[in-house]
């Protein structure tokens, strides 16, 4: 078994054996009302974060479980971003569930990537165990949908994992194996797919 396959097996073992985290049932209509502050950045196509500069991630169609985990990490400070911590600190668990339900419901996205799509880039095989079309269901925490995400955001996120600025047992292990060229290639591959995430539209 090569190192890539070992890490894939490790990821599946860790994620499928994790204790399932209870999430409150989200109300997408209430989430839409709460999302007005989110839409000031995430509802504008191509809107950029400053220092460091990258396009803010697309949330339309993102998995609710992933959004809930991310917002709770911002709220607690275990994931670092000054603006997102300030926003998250005002949210209850129910608010977070409502927002997650709303963003997921703005057309559900899928990661339909298979091994046949990725050609010879071995590094992309590490992504498939969790983010690919054949990923095991019920993983905890919920893996993000990557297809059609902004390239510069994906580069930023992978470097955060690689440099230890963002925590996550599986992602830190995977990112630690990646060269800068691997990171650029993975981000470029996912960003050019047209079957995934989108910028949600602002309500009138």
Q: pLDDT digits over 23-38, tens only?
A: 568 999 999 999 999 9
Cβ(38)–Cβ(31) below 8 Å: no
Q: Is the pLDDT of residue 99 over 70?
A: yes
CA distance 136 to 161: 22
* Listed range (22-26, 65-69, 104-108, 170-174) with the worst mean pLDDT: 22-26
Own/partner long-range contacts of 175-182 (Cβ < 8 Å, ≥24 apart): 177/3, 177/7, 177/123, 177/126, 178/123, 178/126, 179/123, 182/121, 182/123
Res 120: pLDDT: 63
* Listed range (58-62, 90-94, 152-156, 168-172) with the worst mean pLDDT: 168-172
The H or E element that residue 49 is part of is strand 48-49
Q: Name the average pLDDT for the chain.
A: 85
Which domains can be identified in the chain, with CATH numbers? 3-191 (1.10.760.10)
Res 159: pLDDT: 97
Mean pLDDT over 130-149 rounds to: 83
Share of the chain above pLDDT 90, in %: 57
In which band, very low, low, confident or very high, does the pLDDT at 67 lie, cut at 50, 70 and 90?
very high
* Listed range (31-45, 106-120, 142-156) with the worst mean pLDDT: 106-120
CA distance 66 to 32: 18
Cβ(57)–Cβ(153) below 8 Å: yes
* Listed range (120-124, 127-131, 166-170, 185-189) with the worst mean pLDDT: 120-124
Res 19: pLDDT: 40
Share of the chain above pLDDT 70, in %: 84
Res 112: pLDDT: 77
Q: pLDDT digits over 35-64, tens only?
A: 999 999 999 999 999 878 999 999 999 999
Res 1: pLDDT: 47
In which band, very low, low, confident or very high, does the pLDDT at 14 lie, cut at 50, 70 and 90?
very low
Residue 128: both structure tokens together: 């498939």
């Amino acid at each position: 078994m090569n190192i890539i396959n070992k890490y894939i097996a490790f990821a599946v073992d860790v994620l499928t054996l994790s204790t399932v985290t209870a999430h409150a049932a989200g109300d997408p209509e209430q989430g839409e009302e709460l999302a007005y502050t989110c839409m000031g950045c995430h509802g504008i196509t191509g809107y950029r974060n400053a220092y460091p500069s990258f396009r803010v991630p697309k949330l339309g169609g993102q998995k609710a479980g992933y959004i809930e985990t991310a917002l709770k990490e911002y709220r607690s400070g275990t994931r670092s971003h000054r603006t997102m911590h300030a926003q998250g600190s005002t949210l209850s668990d129910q608010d977070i569930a409502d927002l997650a339900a709303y963003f997921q419901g703005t057309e559900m996205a899928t990661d339909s990537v298979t091994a046949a799509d990725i050609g010879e880039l071995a590094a992309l095989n590490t992504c498939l165990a969790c983010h690919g079309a054949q990923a095991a269901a019920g993983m905890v925490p919920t893996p993000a949908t990557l297809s059609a995400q902004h390239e510069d955001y994906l580069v930023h996120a992978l470097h955060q994992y690689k440099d230890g600025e963002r925590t996550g047992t599986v992602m830190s292990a995977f990112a630690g194996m990646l060269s800068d060229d691997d990171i650029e290639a993975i981000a470029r591959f996912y960003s050019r797919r047209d079957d995934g995430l989108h910028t949600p539209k602002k309500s009138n």
